[in-house]
Amino acid sequence: MAIEQKTYRKQAAVFRREGGVLRTTEAIRAGIAPRDLYSMRDEGVVEYLSRGIYRLSAMTPLSKPDLVSVSLRAPHGVVCLISALAFYELTAQIPHEVYVAIDRFTRPPRVDYPPVRVFKFSGEAFTEGVKTHRIDGFQVKIYNPEKTIADCFKFRNKTGNDTAIEALKLYCGRRRKDIDALMRYAGICRVDKIIKPYLEALL
């Protein structure tokens, strides 16, 4: 804190004014010299979140830094599959990478950290079921639980059939569920005939 107050007080004020997070280009445009920005990083005044993104260290620690970092690097992407299941507590798995869906015509985001696994969706499979959550003050797009389960059945060969079934069981055991919405998304993902027998056995 002493370093921030004595040496980088003005620069830290710029970060605070912008919510504590700045991209390198934004920091420079706001008047922070590149050498000062890198010195702030080296001395721990700011922390490196991801490529070209820094956060003021004095701010309250992020509760979900991986999701926030990826959403900042890929603002048009949507957190999906196992990462979304973990967010909604619909899996016992702890994802070691952030699963992100992007439009099939979009270039994959350049994220050096955290590890990211990109899936290309198209049409309604990409646009439907997106919910924006406010996490640590940032807007993070995540597919809703029903769409996520449908996606897991669609990509069961990559994420595991057991993962999809486990998520469906946990979801059906909840008091608040929307089976009609689940089947609508299953139809969009073309897995409605696959999910239906599991649902009939669970409900």
Cis peptide before 114 (omega within 30 of 0): yes
How far is Cα 11 from Cα 99, in angstroms, rounded to an integer?
A: 34
pLDDT in tens, 131-164: 999 988 889 999 999 999 999 999 999 999 999 9
Q: Are residues 51 and 150 in the same domain?
A: no
pLDDT in tens, 30-76: 999 999 998 999 888 998 887 788 888 888 887 888 898 899 888 89
- What's the domain count of the chain? 2
The DSSP call for residue 31 is T
Q: Are residues 179 and 90 in the same domain?
A: yes
Of 56, 74, 93, which residue constitutes the final position of a domain?
56
Domain that holds residue 46: 2-56
Task: Give whole-number Cα distances, 84 to 148, 152, 161, 165, in Å.
Answer: 7, 10, 16, 15
